[in-house]
Amino acid sequence: MNYRHGYHAGNFADVLKHTALCELLRLLTAKDKKLFVLDTHAGAGGYDLAGRLAQRTGEAEAGIARLASAPRTDMPPAVARYLAAVAAYDRKFGATDGKPRRYPGSPRLVRTALRPGDRFIACELHPEEVFLLKREFAGDRAVEVRQADGYKALKAVLPPIERRGLVLIDPPFEAADEYERLLRALRHAVRRFATGCYAVWYPIKDEAAAAFADELSALEPLTLEMRLGGIEPGRLAACGLSVINPPWRFEEAMREALPWIADRLGPGVSAAVRPPQAGRPAGKAAP
């Protein structure tokens, strides 16, 4: 396991995934019913954009830094809320000039949205990331950090007692069998907890990824995509987020937010929102 998310934190893929995550959390916590959240591949929880890893790639410059400095004219509410969450996290570390220095990972964004009584489990396997994740949430009883395989956790914790849940699956895709493992675990999870909302991030980079996206479409997700133009070979140029059972109004919010973000991230960047393919309408209400 070599992957460290610190190299990529705040890049265009995080911007897509975290804008969607914030909106999913907002919509799913709008109802006065308890919510369970599982982050199967949680990472470190927060990232130093001025640190060695982020500076090595500079990916955040073309992602969150560019978006945060864009003029706010006509900014869609989902983007404004995402940027507010990033800025609020950053302010905790003393930032005042609007240029993000610290970037919240998915567990931090989940934590911000939780209400008293909601439940959150964050799984991570890499020992250093687990150490950082535990430190990030030290003393916070609302977050259960598990040093555990996220796919096994899916089996162990679903269906949740709350009967309402959001599952984020965001693996590093460095293992050859990642696609296969993910699909197997996801199909099993959907069988056990059919009404859960599942958000699955994936890179769009080769034939294996295309075959994976094809297999995923059988689960009838709403699909979000973002593509960069003019990227040198070997760097991630496109990614997707498939959302199974998106809450009502999520698709509408993403149709408004993603093209706006793509325009601000620069020339050649494009975004797409594709409804479920097999005729089932998107925006099925969560129970």
Helix or strand or coil: residue 283? coil
Nearest approach in angstroms of CB 187 to ligand SAM is 17
Which of 76, 105, 165, 196 touches ligand SAM (CB under 6 A)?
A: 105
Q: What is the per-residue DSSP string for 93-105?
A: TT--SSS-SEEE-
List of residues 6+ apart from 261 with CB closer than 8 A: 15, 16, 19, 67, 79, 226, 271
Which residue in the list 170, 177, 206, 263 is annotated as catalytic?
Answer: 170
Query: Residue of minimal CB distance from ligand SAM?
Result: 105
Q: Is 171 in the site for ligand SAM (CB under 6 A)?
A: yes
**Near ligand SAM in 1-60, by CB under 6 A:** 1, 3, 5, 17, 40-43
Which tokens hold the place of 73? 């004219």
- The residue among 42 and 83 lying less far from ligand SAM, judged by its C-beta, is 42
Which of 76, 150, 165, 247 touches ligand SAM (CB under 6 A)?
A: 150
Which tokens hold the place of 269? 């960047």
Rounded CA gap, 159 and 84, in Å?
Answer: 32
Which of 170, 220, 225, 251 touches ligand SAM (CB under 6 A)?
A: 170
To the nearest 10 degrees (0 to 180), the angle between helices 106-113 and 12-28 is 20
Nearest approach in angstroms of CB 53 to ligand SAM is 12
Distance of CA 214 to the CA centre of its chain: 20
- The residue among 119 and 126 lying less far from ligand SAM, judged by its C-beta, is 126
Q: Is 194 in the site for ligand SAM (CB under 6 A)?
A: no
- The residue among 171 and 276 lying less far from ligand SAM, judged by its C-beta, is 171
Nearest approach in angstroms of CB 198 to ligand SAM is 14
Which of 126, 143, 190, 220 touches ligand SAM (CB under 6 A)?
A: 126
Nearest approach in angstroms of CB 254 to ligand SAM is 17
- The residue among 41 and 102 lying less far from ligand SAM, judged by its C-beta, is 41
Annotation says 118 is catalytic: no
Q: How many residues sit close enough to ligand SAM to count as binding (CB under 6 A)?
A: 21
Q: Is 172 in the site for ligand SAM (CB under 6 A)?
A: yes
Which of 125, 204, 209, 219 touches ligand SAM (CB under 6 A)?
A: 125
Nearest approach in angstroms of CB 125 to ligand SAM is 4
To the nearest 10 degrees (0 to 180), the angle between helices 250-265 and 77-91 is 70
Torsional sign, CA 203, 208, 214, 219: negative
Helix or strand or coil: residue 231? coil
Q: Are strands 119-124 and 238-244 parallel, antiparallel or unpaired?
A: unpaired
**Strands in the chain per DSSP E:** 36-39, 46-48, 102-104, 119-124, 143-147, 165-169, 197-203, 222-227, 238-244, 270-274
- The residue among 8 and 119 lying less far from ligand SAM, judged by its C-beta, is 8
Which tokens hold the place of 250? 């999520």
List of residues contacting ligand SAM (CB under 6 A) = 1, 3, 5, 17, 40-43, 105-106, 123-126, 129, 149-151, 170-172
What amino acid positions are annotated as catalytic residues? 170
